[in-house]
Amino acid sequence: MYLVGFYSPKAKSGVTELSLSIYNWLKSNTTLLVAFISYGPLEKEEISNELIHEFSKLTLIEQKRKVKQLKKQFDIIIYDASSQLSDGVLKILPIVDRLFVVGDEHRDFAVKLHEIIQFNKIFDKSVKNFITHLQGNKTFIIRENMDQQVIGFNNKKKDTDDIGQMIYTDYVTYYLERNLVENNEKILKKIKLIPKENLYSGLYDLGVDFEKALLFHQYVTLREALGQDYIEVLETLFPFLINYSFAELLDKFQNELHFITKLK
CATH topology of domain 2-184: Rossmann fold (3.40.50)
Q: What are the Cα distances from residue 171, in Å, to 85, 93, 138, 164, 201?
A: 27, 18, 15, 11, 38
Task: Provide the residue-wise pLDDT of the chain in tens; the chain has 264 residues.
Answer: 788 888 776 666 677 888 898 999 999 999 999 999 988 888 788 888 888 888 888 888 888 888 889 989 999 999 888 765 666 666 666 667 777 776 655 556 656 665 665 655 554 444 333 333 322 332 222 233 444 444 444 445 567 887 888 888 888 888 877 777 778 888 899 999 999 999 999 999 999 999 999 999 999 999 999 899 999 999 889 988 988 889 999 999 998 888 877 766
**Predicted pLDDT of residue 249:** 92
Residues carrying CATH 3.40.50, the chain: 2-184
Beta bridge partners of 76: 2, 34
d(CA 44, CA 202): 61
Cβ neighbour number for residue 18 with a 10 Å cutoff: 24
d(CA 4, CA 73): 15
Q: Is 103 left (phi over 0), alpha (psi -120 to 50) or beta?
A: left
Q: Is 106 left (phi over 0), alpha (psi -120 to 50) or beta?
A: alpha
d(CA 216, CA 194): 13
CA-based torsion, 76, 111, 141, 127: positive or negative: negative
